[in-house]
Amino acid sequence: IGYDFLKDYDILFDYEKQVITLIQPDEFEHYANTHFSEKEIERIPFELKHHIPIIQAEVGGKDYSFGLDCGAEGNLMDDDLFVAMESHLLDITEDDLIGANNNPKKVKKGKVKSTQIGNLSFEKMSTAFNDISHLNEGYQLNLDGLVGYELLSKQTTVISYARQELLFIQ
């Protein structure tokens, strides 16, 4: 299921319950009041370029732009950033990354000690480093990386294309 179908809904990801819920955007506040009245909601604005929501994050006092890819198993950063990020990584290893062409490639991988998004801090998110220039060139983006499951699975999360915001429900 891709952007053309999902763009008309607020998409709620609840990995703990293994549920994805599609909500009409004009019904979200009622849904949130009914289901999340006891929880805090952190709203993170994003910029939509083509079909990719782009959020801002901070690692080690430096700002980065990440595309949100709800189909990505792990986080990915451009390999040009590895040296700058190395002091903010734990458990650095090499791993095979299998891309769209199905060919495995050796990449460096580590856990980012702390990533700040809005007022929330995400600890030890596994991140691989690989060339993402094809994404930036193909879509005229200026991304430092992509975030996916590693971020979305930490809590219940909503992507709202209509309001251009990412919601973390704590």
Predicted pLDDT of residue 76: 95
Q: What is the mean pLDDT of residues 4-25?
A: 94
Predicted pLDDT of residue 135: 87
Residues 58, 67: Cα–Cα separation, whole Å: 14
Predicted pLDDT of residue 1: 75
> What is the value of pTM for the model shown?
0.92
- For residue 72, pLDDT over 90 is answered with no
